[in-house]
Amino acid sequence: MTTAIDILILRALFSNPSRYVSGEDLATQAGVSRAAIWKHLDQLQKIGYPIEAQPHQGYRLLAPPDVWCADEIAARLPDPTPGEPNWRVLLFQETASTNDLVWREAQNGAQEGLVIIAEQQSSGRGRQGRQWQSCAKSGLYASALLRPHWPLSQITRLTIVSSLAVAEAVEKLCGKEVRIKWPNDVFMRGKKLGGILTEVQADPEAIRFAVVGIGLNVSQTKSDFPDALHAIATSLKIETGHDYRRADLLVAILAALQRHYREPFEVVRQAWSERCFSLGQTISVQTPAGRQIGQAVGLDENGALLLRAESGRITPITAGDILPH
């Protein structure tokens, strides 16, 4: 459960990682006694945050381990501007699917900005109902509720915006190039690092709500993947040799998603196109209407993939899978 005092303390500690924060200042800001601040700091230490205390100086946060705490996410996210999601995070140790939980809450009237994260999913899935490996404490499994009020014709923009946010956030934290494969996958050094699952409830004319699921392989080793996935799947640990805090990744992803969500789509389209290695390639796409072959030449104004056939005819593709050669 998030508390205002814990959020205030964590915001101060993460905002000043190399400096001590005065307990008296924290007490004044929170409107409580210094003893009350100490109790909250003690609880944060028990969760796993290494907080150093020095007489006459205050408190500072040492290198925190990979712990999940909704208070930390709330403390570190930027305040939304008008039109941007106001993120609210709920944490589960295990669930069947974070997308299913957010979908249920959306149907019950939850406001835009709800985010559910889980340490482990028992029935994680990707597009077309494919199973998504959701190992405990090794991946980032999160789903966010959006209510864009966009026309139904712009439904594919959601996956474009989300995949760009994930790619930018991961690259910024890790310093390694992250590419995008149409329609929803993020890659590092030629292997799949994660993916986006966008599920939408819509009226005939407009999107009522969308659930954006994010699955990202963080600390898996090669032995964590089935043999069949060794050649095509990877993790940040495998690719960089480093450990990453999933909270750092989620904060960066949500901040990027918050920014791109209300950005002019032309800006998003340009940035996404520069990262997508599917563009410029001749590809075979399995669509609901059948198989189509052509050169992927870009995105249209609604976010659909533009496929140019040998005849020169360009067809917008809103859903499908790129088939292997």
3-class DSSP string for 295-317: EEEEECCCCCEEEECCCCCEEEE
Contact 101, 33 (CB under 8 A): no
Residue range 3-27, pLDDT digits in tens: 899 999 999 999 988 899 999 999 9
Angstrom distances, CA of residue 287 to CA of 240, 241, 294, 315, 316: 35, 38, 13, 12, 11
Helices (H), the chain: 4-15, 23-30, 34-47, 70-76, 98-107, 157-174, 236-240, 246-261, 265-275
Domains and CATH numbers, the chain: 4-61 (1.10.10.10), 70-275 (3.30.930.10), 282-322 (2.30.30.100)
Q: pTM score, two decimals?
A: 0.93
Distance between CA atoms of residues 212 and 102, nearest Å: 9
Task: Per residue of the chain (325 residues), give pLDDT as tens.
Answer: 458 999 999 999 999 888 999 999 999 999 999 999 999 999 999 999 999 999 999 999 999 999 999 999 999 998 898 889 999 999 999 988 999 999 999 999 999 999 999 998 776 555 555 555 556 778 999 999 999 989 999 999 999 999 999 999 999 999 999 999 999 999 999 999 999 999 999 998 899 999 999 999 999 999 888 888 889 999 999 999 999 999 999 999 999 999 999 999 999 999 999 999 999 999 999 999 899 999 999 999 999 999 999 999 999 999 999 988 6
